[in-house]
DNA sequence: TATTCGTGGGA
DNA sequence: TTCCCAAGAAT
């Protein structure tokens, strides 16, 4: 049956649906999957240009599966949460093996793939395959917390269960994909986190929080942890017009991306304990720390850093050639080929500035 | 179950 | 400046 909420929301959606590149009459499941992966914790406006480039570069699931991981990470550079790209890539290869190259039209099967959790499985199932599956993202969570005045913290186990139950209970049969997307559009444009436009909301007559005047108090938030501050250094090691970069471990922070060698230090240190030793062991030469390139302050969601970058060079002598190593000598012109996080990309661009080239020291 | 994972934008 | 947080998932 169709609830009054669904009826009014779908009517609103017919008039106000945003036009987005991945929204089509007969959606390509792969395209929906790509968009949902990119949209995890990321705004629509940020995703659109990445989505367009991605679909031009990897037009099909098979094309993605046959691509190399470095190319995949390169296409993702700047979007953040890089495990999404690695999981998308891994999952594409699994789909080729396990599902004959076709994304399964089944919630549980979707959720068995890396990078597809409860939300994304519901979104793909409903949007791409027309199945009656609920989805609960940040927007929908907020809309339901207000509509039904959910007083428990939304991110608590109890709150999550209540909200998923609401998402399932209010789902209209037949148009679940439109309904889920309508809830997300409503949350993004009307039922916003702060100063919601309740006067324009098609559901204001059904909204308990609006009736009680507590829209801004819903959803109930939980306190967030204090943000640590780290001091980090990076070595810009020059030799014969090239610089040394290192590939980060494939898991964890910026996994699989390249960086200028360095890491966390105690305040006042120039290079991390161990880096000089690693360089010496890999290259057979001592590293000499020279002039600072710059100081970079960066605030991330969960931590802050102050990064000190230094021009460095090797002591006299011929360094060993690198083979099968996580280290590479790269010319400034080639640095763009290596996927990097924001901070290291910024440092790499400083290198190609005329006044920063050469081995001034 | 609580943490860990980026980046950019808005108030 | 500071805080929040945006189509979450993995561990």
| CATH code of A157's domain | 1.10.340.30
A341 with A235, same domain: the answer is: yes
| Mean pLDDT, residues A93-98 taken together | 98
- Interatomic CA distance for residues A313 and A265, integer angstroms: 20
Q: In chain A, what are the helix, strand and coil shares in percent, each to the nearest 5?
A: 45, 15, 40
On whether residue A47 sits in a domain, the answer given is: yes
Mark whether A154 and A36 lie in a shared domain: yes
Residue A81 lies in a domain: yes
Average pLDDT over residues A188-209: 95
- Count structural domains, chain A: 2
As a rounded value in angstroms, the CA-to-C1' distance for A18 and B3 is 35
Q: Indicate yes or no: strand C within 7 A of the C-beta of A253.
A: no
Q: Which nucleotides of B are covered by protein (CB under 7 A)?
A: 1-9, 11
Higher pLDDT: A300 or A322? It is A300
**Interatomic distance A216 CA / C2 C1' (Å):** 20
Shared domain check, A340 and A241: yes
Whether A45 has a pLDDT exceeding 70, the answer reads: yes
pLDDT for A270: 78
Q: A255 lies in which domain range?
A: 229-356
- Condensed to tens digits (0 to 9), the pLDDT of residues A334-351 reads 999 999 999 999 999 987
Query: What are the strands, taking DSSP E only, across A196-241?
Result: 229-239
Residue A239: give its domain's CATH number. Answer: 3.90.79.10
Provide the pLDDT confidence category of residue A182 given band limits of 50, 70 and 90.
very high
Measure the CA–CA gap between A136 and A78, rounded to whole angstroms. 26
Inside any domain, residue A142: no
- Kindly report which amino acid residue has its CA closest to the C1' atom of nucleotide B9: A43
Instruction: Work out if A346's Cβ lies within 7 angstroms of strand C.
Output: no
Residue A50 pLDDT greater than 90, yes or no: yes
The verdict on A178 and A233 lying in the same domain is no
A34: helix, strand or coil:
helix
If asked whether residues A166 and A267 sit together in one domain, one would say: no
Asked whether residue A293 is assigned to any structural domain, the reply reads yes
Whole-angstrom distance, CA of residue A47 vs CA of residue A29: 17
Which of the following is catalytic: A4, A11, A36, A45? A36
Banded pLDDT at A279 (limits 50, 70, 90): confident
**Residue closest to A127 by CA, chosen among A196, A9, A26, A53:** A26
Q: How does residue A361 score in pLDDT terms, banded at 50, 70 and 90?
A: very low
- Is residue A210 situated within a structural domain? no
Domain co-membership, A245 together with A169: no
Question: For A163-176, how does the pLDDT look when each residue is reduced to its tens digit (9 = 90+)?
Answer: 999 999 999 999 99
User: Which residues are A236's β-sheet partners?
Assistant: A311
- Residues A78, A257: Cα–Cα separation, whole Å: 11
DSSP β-bridge partners for residue A289 = A312
Higher pLDDT, A14 or A325: A14
A256 found inside a domain: yes
Looking up tokens 């509509």 gives A147
| Average pLDDT taken over every residue of chain A | 92
Kindly tell me if the per-residue pLDDT of A321 is higher than 80: no
**A123 is written with which tokens?**
């979104």
Query: Among A324, A24, A34, A291, which Cα is nearest to A178's?
Result: A24
Same domain membership, residue A260 and residue A180: no
pLDDT of residue A359: 45
Q: Is residue A16 part of a domain?
A: yes
Determine the distance between A252 (CA) and B6 (C1') in angstroms: 12
pLDDT of residue A103: 98
pLDDT of residue A324: 55
User: Which single residue has its CA nearest the C1' atom of nucleotide C10?
Assistant: A115
**A310 pLDDT higher than 60:** yes
């Amino acid at each position: 049956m169709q609830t009054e909420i669904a009826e009014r929301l779908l009517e609103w959606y017919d008039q106000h649906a945003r036009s987005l590149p991945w929204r089509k009459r007969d959606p390509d499941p792969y395209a929906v999957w790509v968009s949902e992966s990119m949209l995890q914790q990321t705004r629509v406006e940020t995703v659109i240009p990445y989505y367009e480039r991605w679909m031009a570069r990897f037009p099909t699931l098979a094309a993605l599966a046959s691509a190399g991981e470095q190319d995949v990470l390169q296409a993702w550079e700047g979007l953040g949460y890089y495990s999404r790209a690695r999981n998308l890539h891994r999952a594409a290869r699994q789909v080729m093996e396990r599902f004959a190259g076709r994304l399964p039209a089944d919630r549980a099967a979707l959720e068995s793939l890396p990078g597809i959790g409860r939300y994304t499985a519901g979104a793909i199932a409903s949007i791409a395959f027309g199945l009656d599956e609920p989805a609960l993202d940040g927007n929908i969570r907020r809309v339901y917390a207000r509509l039904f005045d959910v007083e428990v913290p939304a991110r608590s186990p109890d709150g999550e269960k209540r909200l998923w139950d609401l998402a399932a209970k209010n789902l209209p049969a037949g148009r679940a994909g439109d309904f889920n997307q309508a809830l997300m559009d409503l949350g993004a444009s009307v039922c916003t986190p702060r100063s919601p436009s309740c006067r324009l909301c098609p559901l204001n007559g059904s909204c308990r929080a609006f009736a009680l005047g507590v829209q801004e108090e819903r959803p109930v938030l939980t306190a967030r942890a204090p943000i640590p501050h780290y001091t980090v250094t990076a070595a810009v090691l020059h030799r014969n017009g090239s610089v040394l970069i290192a590939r980060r471990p494939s898991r964890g922070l910026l996994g699989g991306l390249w960086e200028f060698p360095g890491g966390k230090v105690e305040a006042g240190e120039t290079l991390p304990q161990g880096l000089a030793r690693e360089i010496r062991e890999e290259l057979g030469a001592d590293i000499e720390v020279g002039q600072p390139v710059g100081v970079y302050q960066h605030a991330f969601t969960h931590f802050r850093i102050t990064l000190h970058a230094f021009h460095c060079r090797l002591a006299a002598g011929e360094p060993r050639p690198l083979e099968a190593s996580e280290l590479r000598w790269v010319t400034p012109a080639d640095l763009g080929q290596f996927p990097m996080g924001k901070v290291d990309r910024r440092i790499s661009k400083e290198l190609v500035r005329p006044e920063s080239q050469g081995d001034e020291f």
